[in-house]
Amino acid sequence: MKPIGSKELREIQLALLDQISSFCERTSLRWFLAFGSLLGAIRHKGYIPWDDDLDIMMPRPDYDRFVHTFQSSARPYVRIVSMETDPRYGLPFAKIHDSRTLVVEHRYRDDSFGVYVDVFPMDGIESTRQAKSVLFLKRFLNAKKAKNLDSRSFAKRIAIFASKIPLLLISEHSILRAMDRAMRRVPFDNASALSVLCSVEAPRMRIPPEWIRSVRLASFENRLCPIPKNAELVLSQCYGDFWTLPPEDQRHSHHDAGAFWKN
């Protein structure tokens, strides 16, 4: 297979983002840049220079409509995978991916998807305890999916191996369903605060609903993308002083994967 370089990978991701944006505009669905992509828009007007992924988030009602309707209007090689539409898929959020390509995860079992954009649901959050319960289940899921233990520290290998033993009789699907129930515990329309509960930032991330009721646009790689009204406060919650660049030795991608064109 032919490797995909960083520049080409971003071009594929941006083409996927353009299709998502166009579909959401036609169907009046709300979406916003999220996490590193939101930080990149505010601080760099595009990708963080050393980043290699693209994240968006959607209010739960819009997310549910999106995962069930996007595929019907997508180009033939653009696919959506989600736990709602594919019982073989093992993550609590959706991916829009280019099926002409393949991403090979080095630390987790291959779920056979191509270069992608991550689409996260935004749910109501009632307490830090709710967020921590979802992340507790997420650790079980990651242990279930973990592979290539030789690349990790000895302590990490022991912890993963030990956690796999009680999980032998529990399916990924069962863990995902438990996560989904915990994420949906607070009805979206009744929530006083919102978060992406399947993210590590969830215990700190609290978005008042009024911050997403009016659209604010930010520049991202020469296109305008919607972001929460008070995006800087969201970033401060998640990352602290996000304006200050990390030390040079930390300016690298945290994703352990390779991307390829299929033969």
The token duo for 217 is 């646009």
Q: What is the pLDDT of residue 215?
A: 87
Domain boundaries defined on the chain: 2-261
For residue range 63-118, list pLDDT tens digits in order.
999 999 999 989 999 999 999 988 888 899 999 999 999 999 766 555 678 999 99
Give this prediction's pTM: 0.90
Contact residues for 120 (Cβ-Cβ < 8 A; gap 6+)? 34, 55, 56, 57, 58, 63, 93, 196, 198, 199
89 or 164, greater pLDDT: 89
SS3 state at 256: coil
CA distances from 50 to 111, 115, 132, 239 (A): 25, 17, 29, 17
3-state per-residue secondary structure call for 210-240? HHHCCCEEEEECCEEEEECCCHHHHHHHHHC
Residue 168, classed as helix, strand or coil, is coil
What 3-state DSSP class applies to 92? coil
Q: How confident is the model at residue 157 (pLDDT cuts 50, 70, 90)?
A: low
pLDDT by residue (tens digit) across 178-202?
999 999 999 999 999 999 999 999 9
pLDDT for 108-155, tens place per residue? 555 678 999 999 999 999 999 999 999 999 988 887 777 655 555 666
Report which of 59, 64, 62 is spatially closest to residue 24, judged by C-alpha positions: 62
**Residues 208-228 pLDDT 10s:** 999 999 889 999 999 999 999
Whether the pLDDT of residue 13 is over 90: the answer is yes
- The CA distance from 158 to 251, in Å, is 29
